[in-house]
């Protein structure tokens, strides 16, 4: 029951009258207890007293706004591609990338992220959106959490905002302990695959194989190895540093979210951590040039 509806009704009635056809009108269309009817029978006639062509003007304005909305939706979708990464049911928003977008676009982008995680925007009000904006703001502390209607969980960890259905949040990686007694391929609980290979010499590109690859001397870290997740109180001796350090402090310095710390595999030889997988080797790993036999450890499929 908008101006175009009135225009349509008028044209239909004119057509039926010209054709000599009768029609029936639902009596509820005149019931002013309904807001749509008060707009149609009370507000629009009042507006016509100011502007006889108000219906035409409103139709033109609605068409212009629809075109603007189509453009803004496309621009927001482009920004979504730049700022958001999907990880299963979780959508992760890069807050530094969000800050580079136009301020007027940010609320639309947040709405799009929520809709992508939830499936719709039902029951998401401007109050909820304002709370999400505050959580994404520069003064929000890491670790903040919001529960939105429809079972949506929004959490902030360092420079990211994660939005996911509460039931779709990945559970912590289960406790495990893997014994590695020699070269081979070993699946880890989070889907990462560990490959251990023996080499007689370092390849020329060994320094360029990425942080998910580690070269060690077999003599420095003899088998068997234990591979397990982080435990509270874990410490290690960082390469190039004296003494030990808490792993928790390393995770904080590297801005690794709490939700991901349990998925980082730790590699131990003789009960001592020699590699925080994909993050940092320990002093005990030594130089890969030491010893006649070299081992290459590689983590494939890791999202850390």
pLDDT tens digits, one per residue of 69-81: 999 999 999 999 9
Instruction: Provide the H-helix boundaries in the chain.
Output: 3-19, 35-38, 44-50, 54-83, 95-99, 106-118, 126-136, 247-253, 258-261
Residue 230 pLDDT class (50, 70, 90 cuts)? very high
The answer to whether the CB of 92 falls within 8 A of the CB of 160 is yes
Phi and psi torsions of 173, nearest 5°: -65, 130
Mean pLDDT across the chain: 88
Report the pLDDT averaged over residues 225-243.
Answer: 90
Residue 301: per-residue pLDDT: 78
Residue 174: per-residue pLDDT: 67
| Contacting residues for 239 by C-beta, under 8 A, at least 6 apart | 280, 281, 282, 283, 285
Whether the CA torsion 122, 126, 130, 136 is positive or negative: it is positive
Report the pLDDT averaged over residues 241-247.
Answer: 89
| Contacting residues for 78 by C-beta, under 8 A, at least 6 apart | none
Residue 243 pLDDT class (50, 70, 90 cuts)? confident
pLDDT at 117 exceeding the cut of 70: yes
pLDDT at 30 exceeding the cut of 70: yes
pTM tops 0.85, yes or no: no
Dig out the tokens for 240 from the structure: 């190039």
Residue 167 pLDDT class (50, 70, 90 cuts)? low
Task: Map tokens 């990425």 to a residue.
Answer: 210
């Amino acid at each position: 029951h908008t101006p175009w509806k009135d225009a349509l009704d008028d044209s239909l009635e004119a057509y039926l009258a010209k054709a000599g056809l009768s029609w029936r009108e639902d009596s509820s269309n005149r019931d002013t207890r309904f807001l749509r009817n008060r707009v149609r029978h009370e507000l629009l006639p009042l507006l016509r007293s100011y502007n006889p062509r108000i219906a035409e003007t409103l139709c033109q304005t609605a068409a212009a706004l629809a075109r603007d909305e189509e453009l803004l939706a496309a621009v927001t979708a482009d920004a979504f591609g730049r700022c958001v990464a999907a990880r299963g049911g979780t959508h992760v928003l890069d807050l530094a990338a969000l800050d580079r977008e136009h301020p007027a676009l940010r609320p639309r982008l947040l709405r799009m992220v929520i809709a992508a995680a939830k499936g719709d925007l039902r029951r998401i009000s401007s109050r909820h959106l304002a709370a999400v904006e505050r959580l994404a703001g520069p003064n929000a502390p890491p670790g903040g959490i919001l529960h939105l209607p429809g079972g949506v969980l929004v959490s902030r960890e360092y420079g990211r905002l994660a939005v996911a259905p509460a039931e779709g949040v990945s559970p912590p990686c289960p406790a495990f302990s893997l014994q590695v007694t020699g070269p081979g391929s070993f699946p880890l609980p989070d889907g990462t695959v560990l490959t251990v290979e023996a080499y007689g010499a370092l390849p020329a590109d060994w320094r360029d194989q990425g942080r998910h690859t580690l070269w060690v001397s077999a003599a420095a870290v003899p088998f068997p190895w234990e591979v397990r997740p982080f435990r509270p109180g874990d410490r290690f001796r960082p390469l190039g540093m004296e003494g030990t350090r808490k792993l928790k402090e390393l995770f904080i310095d590297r801005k690794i979210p709490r939700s991901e710390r349990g998925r980082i595999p730790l590699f131990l030889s003789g009960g001592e951590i020699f590699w925080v997988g994909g993050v940092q080797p320990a002093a005990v790993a030594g130089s890969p040039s030491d010893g006649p036999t070299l081992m290459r450890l590689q983590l494939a499929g890791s999202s850390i």
